[in-house]
Structure 1
Amino acid sequence: MTNSGRHFLQIPGPSNVPDSVLHAISMPTIDHRGPDFKELFSHVLTGMADIFGTANQVVIYPATGTGAWEAALVNTLNSGDEILCCETGHFSSLWKAMAEKWGLKPTMITGDWRTGADPEKIREALEADSDHRFKAICVVHNETSTGVTSRIPEIRKAIDETGHPALLLVDTISSLGSVDYRHDEWGVDVTVSGSQKGLMLPPGLSFNAISDKALAAHQQSTLPKSVWNWTEMLESGKNGMTPYTPSTNILYGLKESLRILNEEGLDNVFARHIRFGKATRAAVEAWGLEVLCTNENEHSPVLTAVVMPEGHDADELRAIILEKFNMSLGAGLSKLKGRVFRIGHLGDLSDLTLAGTLAGVQMGLQLSGVKVDPGGLDAALDILKHK
């Protein structure tokens, strides 16, 4: 049976793309060595520096966030370097695995996938590293697999108090443009991000924001790099150009998404996402279910991971909701497979869209035989109707 109405894409990214962004992407392709492109690229470079909160030039790659992960590593480190990683979920584990492929030696601070990177454990690891073997610390700001947001300012404070010189590398792939983030103010050395979440674009662009300290490390880095080389990207970017073919049409979309974010105002964007997170958690708790994140100070504003009761499979629930209500929810990843489902509430999202999403989840839970309090939706609406 064909469902009427639009599909509800409520995964935690790729997120919904606004119509005006889609229209911008459909502009005729231009000469990426001509003056129109120079104007476009210079505009989005400036706009992205504002989004990151940095005075330095940002690098924009025609790649997904995985490429920007790799760029952060190969531009700052050397083969055999030891790094400190923080296990907060599926994606922090993947970043560690990538580092191993590059001949780096990561030490993982283990976690329970229900809390963020622990500033005190990072402090302890650095205090024990009197020889300064760790050259970098890798942290995922918003762990998309768990709905947990790590406290980057507290982590920076812990690093500073130890006097350790390690670089701080932070993944904001699912938080940038939706959650308050300040690259310069928080003392981050490399921030990694991608286009398909809070920036409301299709996958295809990724970013590095770079501190002066990271640039100095880049000058000493001997890991192989060609596509990801900051030197070539930054030199070209100064002139509004790229060293190789860019994702021209998605850059048109980026210009429009930056306009949308700035028109709403970033503070308003962040507040809206916080409110959506509160409304979603209110529904989950009223249903009598459990939010995966257990730390009140680390709940993600962009997604909520929900633990299924014993005897129920999250993927079966997702299949029912897709079939009956034409809505996609995020799956549990790796060791959370079948145990959680994830509700995305980020990007181009309104109060009514979220209300419809939660109504679909509530109906799906009831159809799948999960006993829930039907007052869950009302609990969310009580928050949504008071802006």
Structure 2
Amino acid sequence: MTLANGRHILAIPGPSVMPDRVLNAMHRAAPNIYTGELVDLTQSLVPDLNAVARSSGHVAMYIGNGHAAWEAALVNILSPGDTALVLATGQFGHGWAEMARRLGIKVKVLEFGKRSPFDAAKVRETLAADKDHTIKAVLAVQVDTATSAKSDIAALGQDMAQLDHPALLMVDCIACLACDRFEMDAWGVDVMVAGSQKGLMVPPGMSFVFFNEKADKLRGDMQRVSSYWDWRPRSRPAQYYQHWCGTAPTHHLYGLREALDMILHEEGLEAVWTRHEKLAKAVWAAFETWSRDGPIELNIADRAHRSNAVTSVRIRAPLGTQLRDWLTENAGVTLGIGLGMATPNDPAWHGFFRVGHMGHVNAHMILGTLASIEAGLTALEIPHGRGALEAAASACA
């Protein structure tokens, strides 16, 4: 006998829970990809995507995951031999840096470990020392999905403006767009990348590069950009197929239209941000209570530096894997692995897990997940503080 039968909860940090409305919108026959409804629908997405990003600039849509958006952003404004400064707060900053290296871009990495956001003073010092302005772009991850560290992008943009440094500010919002507050124009961000499968509540398969006129001017100075990654025809197509450099991701577009309606035109973006903030505090309240007795420890100690989309948790190996397995087999809940904390061949890999609380989530989903985690802790006789569920419920009240 198992209590896992019934609707499974995928509490991982992406792909996130997809609303039935999004899935139903995608459940249709293939549309005409040359004229008519799909063309009009695609045009309607652009202003709404910009509204989610708080951007008045351009957006290029790609068929691909977040790594595709990384590469698209890089090749439109950086050439081999150019220098990029990468602020690494976990696995994904290093991943973007490695992609840049393989494109021939010189990379300078500022390492901030796996338990904190970037240190603004160290970034300012590095940029101030760059008197010759050899750094062409600063690459930052707002929320590292592996560590759940959230960095202050607004402060970074303000510092770069005060220093009058001409480098582009490029930000990875793949983990947190439509979950954590992000304001592209107001924060001085020049390029932002995101994916469809997290806060936007659509299956994996689409990614987005948002860019302003400053970034597009640099694109105009590039001697060569591959036809597939070039953001200009995608953002300003003379013909519909140029949006995609070929066939459109037809059914994703219908799902995205429904998701944007839910986010912007029904709940409202500010309300979406507030919902994520409140539910995240419920998650933190539970884990902070459990951590009073036993091996559980939140990876990011300071609440101000935690994401509203994902929470990374440390627990003595092999308890992380044991707890994840118990929840999948007995409670119908799947937690995320401790990505980036170690390798699967390292025993420490089994001492981490992550909880995704992004996108289409509400109080009963989060509280149910937390109650299931407590059941797992109890069943596996893992020591933990008492009163976690009461603390989480109070945070939701």
| TM-score bracket relative to the smaller structure | over 0.9
Measured after TM superposition, the shift of residue 166 of structure 1 is 0.5
Q: Structure 1 residue 354 and structure 2 residue 366: aligned?
A: yes
SS of corresponding position for 1:43: helix
Distance 1:311 1:331, change over 3 A: closer
Match of residue 160 from structure 1: 161
Match of residue 88 from structure 1: 89
Match of residue 252 from structure 1: 254
SS of corresponding position for 1:383: helix
Q: How far apart in 2 are the matches of 1:196 and 1:83?
A: 27
Q: How far apart in 2 are the matches of 1:32 and 1:49?
A: 23
Q: Which runs of 5+ in 2 are unaligned?
A: 343-348
Measured after TM superposition, the shift of residue 202 of structure 1 is 0.3
Contact 2:90–2:340, Cα closer than 8 Å, also in 1: no
Match of residue 293 from structure 1: 300
Q: How far apart in 2 are the matches of 1:327 and 1:222?
A: 50
Write out per-residue CA displacement over residues 140-163 of structure 1, whole angstroms, 9 at most, x where no aligned residue. 111111111111000111111221
Match of residue 282 from structure 1: 285
Q: Structure 1 residue 319 and structure 2 residue 331: aligned?
A: no
TM-score (norm 2): 0.93
Contact 2:311–2:355, Cα closer than 8 Å, also in 1: yes
Contact 2:146–2:340, Cα closer than 8 Å, also in 1: no
TM-score (norm 1): 0.96
Contact 2:58–2:212, Cα closer than 8 Å, also in 1: no
Contact 1:88–1:112, Cα closer than 8 Å, also in 2: yes
Selected match of 2:311 from 298, 304, 315 = 304
Measured after TM superposition, the shift of residue 311 of structure 1 is 5.0
Q: How far apart in 1 are the matches of 2:186 and 2:171?
A: 14
Q: How far apart in 2 are the matches of 1:227 and 1:140?
A: 24
Letter in structure 2 aligned against 1:203: P
Q: How far apart in 2 are the matches of 1:6 and 1:13?
A: 18
Measured after TM superposition, the shift of residue 238 of structure 1 is 8.3
Letter in structure 1 aligned against 2:355: I
Superposition map of 1:103-114 within 5 A: 103-114=104-115
Contact 1:74–1:221, Cα closer than 8 Å, also in 2: no
Letter in structure 2 aligned against 1:101: R
Cα RMSD, aligned residues only:
1.6
Measured after TM superposition, the shift of residue 241 of structure 1 is 5.9
Contact 1:25–1:250, Cα closer than 8 Å, also in 2: yes
Match of residue 136 from structure 1: 137
Letter in structure 1 aligned against 2:394: D
Contact 2:18–2:360, Cα closer than 8 Å, also in 1: yes
Which deviates the most, 27-36 or 257-266?
Answer: 27-36
Distance 1:367 1:237, change over 3 A: farther
Measured after TM superposition, the shift of residue 117 of structure 1 is 2.0
Contact 1:82–1:136, Cα closer than 8 Å, also in 2: yes
Measured after TM superposition, the shift of residue 235 of structure 1 is 2.7
Contact 2:69–2:209, Cα closer than 8 Å, also in 1: yes
Work out the number of aligned pairs and report it: 384
Contact 2:309–2:357, Cα closer than 8 Å, also in 1: yes
Which deviates the most, 360-369 or 36-45?
Answer: 360-369
Distance 1:296 1:373, change over 3 A: closer
Contact 2:19–2:360, Cα closer than 8 Å, also in 1: yes
Q: How far apart in 2 are the matches of 1:362 and 1:237?
A: 56
Write out per-residue CA displacement over residues 148-204 of structure 1, whole angstroms, 9 at most, x where no aligned residue. 111100011111122111101000111111121111111111100000000001001
Measured after TM superposition, the shift of residue 37 of structure 1 is 1.7
SS of corresponding position for 2:193: strand
SS of corresponding position for 1:338: helix
SS of corresponding position for 2:16: coil
Distance 1:46 1:237, change over 3 A: farther
Q: Which runs of 5+ in 1 are unaligned?
A: none
Match of residue 188 from structure 1: 189
Contact 1:345–1:354, Cα closer than 8 Å, also in 2: yes
SS of corresponding position for 2:77: coil
Match of residue 208 from structure 1: 209
Measured after TM superposition, the shift of residue 338 of structure 1 is 2.2
Write out per-residue CA displacement over residues 122-142 of structure 1, whole angstroms, 9 at most, x where no aligned residue. 111111111111100000111
Q: How far apart in 1 are the matches of 2:41 and 2:317?
A: 53
SS of corresponding position for 1:142: coil
Match of residue 19 from structure 1: 20
Match of residue 363 from structure 1: 375
Contact 2:176–2:199, Cα closer than 8 Å, also in 1: yes
Q: Identity of counterpart residues, as a percentage?
A: 36
Q: How far apart in 1 are the matches of 2:224 and 2:370?
A: 47
Match of residue 334 from structure 1: 340
Distance 1:335 1:4, change over 3 A: closer
